[in-house]
Amino acid sequence: MDKKTNNLGLKLGILATSLLISDATAISVTVAPMEATFSNISATTVESLVTIPSFSMLLFILLSNFVIRLIGKKKTVLLGLSMAFIGGVLPAFVTSFPAIIFCRFLLGAGVGTYNTLAVGLISDFFTGVEQKKLLGFQTATSAIGSALTTFLAGILVSYDWHYAYLVYALSIPILLVFYLNVPEPSKKIANDSSALNAQEKNKIKLNSTVILSVVSMFFMFVFLMNIATKTSEFLTEQNIKNAAFLGTALTIGGLLGAVSGFLYGRVYVHLKNITPIFSSAVVALGFAGVAYSSEMILFTVGTSLVYIGYSMLISYLYGVIFDNVNAASKNISVSLAMVACNLGAFFSPYIVSIISNAIGNSSAKEGLSMSVLFYGVLAVIFVFPVFKKGIGSNTTKAIDGNN
């Protein structure tokens, strides 16, 4: 075959794996109808179906290196996609709530098994400008996959909430494209990488700025997940017309968030360390638009602002982390950040529920209002580093590396 054709197939095969890595929240549109079906189950437990994959994903990200050493990278991706297919689609055919919980756990486990390879394989096969370009495409592919599955789930849920889970059948064509186009990477690459990691272990250092950034990411996700776990319930609670538009609203928000991420470098050049204040305020404004909306237009605008602001904020924090660690510490720092994000997502419904019970108001609107307050306070907190010349300066190089 033509070399260029093979190269294109390789790129498509690797990028295809990213279509599924951010799709756990696609079925957030099913929360309200599932609460009606499982009326004997607490709302918090039903909401946790959206976030359970984040927990199992975290566990299997930590286990993935062992699996890779055992069966190789290609088989690890194929195993992960197979697990994701079974766990993702099975809820469309079962009626037992415990079984659905297990399936959601299995979905996250499958994605977590190959999650790191969605990026790692790019560095295995490509270098230089080509590698950076593909890393940008990887981010876009992930956003497109999330938007696509959320949109389709929004359509399917109008027939029956079971059908919404069929969006995870997307894992089958992904598996086939990957299997047909991506070979097992050279073992020499993996061995060289392992040797380098062994040499650098004793050089790993994390300062207080990195730790504060990681902790911030945890709480950011705790209150960010309300956009996925509370919105379906909110629309039902407030009896807002055209609630079936929820899936489309989340899709629009996701796509605009992806665009925001691509534009982040330019935004930072102009705003510098004011960036986290601005982006936190945008997220707070977005949640306010959602929480106090009485029609779908304002709701959609609010949702879009949440995704736009979050995309810039998370990029800024990764930039701060990169600016405050040495080369040996970057991998562990990013891993800690991923762990914090996944833990925050998993514990979100429980933490929000505890706060709701403490204040005596468990409505979805109150949950969304908590997010307004949190991100508003976060914007104020970020003011202090600005007046102290910043806790860390995001270099242009770091920004380009993230986008």
Each domain of the chain, given as residue ranges in start order, spans: 1-203, 205-403
CA atoms lying within 13 Å on the CB side of residue 180: 11
Higher pLDDT, 89 or 28: 89
Residue 390 has pLDDT above 50, yes or no: no
400 Cβ neighbours under 8 A, 6+ residues apart: 132, 265
258-262 contact pairs (CB < 8 A, 24+)? 258/139, 258/140, 258/143, 258/144, 258/147, 258/311, 259/308, 260/307, 260/308, 260/309, 260/311, 260/312, 261/139, 261/143, 261/311, 261/312, 261/315, 261/403, 262/136, 262/139, 262/140, 262/403
Q: What is the mean pLDDT of the chain?
A: 82
Give which of 196, 15, 227, 200 is closest to 118, Cα–Cα.
15
CA 11 to the chain's CA centroid: 22
State the DSSP code for 391.
Answer: S
| CA 184 vs CA 78, 139, 243, 360, 381: distances in Å | 11, 23, 46, 55, 47
Query: Per the structure block, which two tokens stand in for 21?
Result: 């890595």
Q: Which of 41-45, 159-163, 366-370 has the lowest mean pLDDT?
A: 41-45
Does the pTM surpass 0.75? The reply is no
Higher pLDDT, 259 or 89: 89
Q: Which residues of 299-317 are buried (b: 16+ CB within 10 A; e: fewer)?
A: bbbbbbbbbbbbbbbbbbb
Burial of 196 (0-12, 13-18, 19+ CB in 10 A): exposed
Distance CA 162, CA 184 (A): 36
Q: What is the pLDDT of residue 378?
A: 94
| CA 83 vs CA 94, 102, 145, 231: distances in Å | 17, 12, 18, 28
* Structure confidence at residue 393 as a pLDDT band (50, 70, 90): very low
Three-state secondary structure call for residue 97: helix
Q: If one looks up domain 1-203 in CATH, what number appears?
A: 1.20.1250.20
Q: Are 139 and 314 in contact (CB under 8 A)?
A: no
* Structure confidence at residue 135 as a pLDDT band (50, 70, 90): low
Query: Would the CATH topology of 1-203 be identical to that of 205-403?
Result: yes
Residue 190 has pLDDT above 60, yes or no: no
Residue 13 has pLDDT above 60, yes or no: yes
126-129 contact pairs (CB < 8 A, 24+)? none
What sign does the dihedral 124-128-129-132 (CA atoms) show?
A: positive
Q: What is the pLDDT of residue 203?
A: 63
Q: Are 23 and 145 in contact (CB under 8 A)?
A: yes
Higher pLDDT, 244 or 185: 185
The whole-number average pLDDT for the span 292-301 is 91
| CA 367 vs CA 6, 250, 379: distances in Å | 50, 18, 19
The whole-number average pLDDT for the span 295-323 is 86
Q: What is the pLDDT of residue 136?
A: 57
For residue 273, count other CB atoms closer than 10 A to its CB. 21
Q: Are 13 and 182 in contact (CB under 8 A)?
A: yes
Question: Does the domain made of 205-403 have the CATH classification 1.20.1250.20?
Answer: yes
Crossing angle (nearest 10°) for helices 73-89 and 117-125: 150
Query: Per the structure block, which two tokens stand in for 402?
Result: 């993230």
Distance CA 355, CA 280 (A): 21
Residue 229 has pLDDT above 80, yes or no: yes
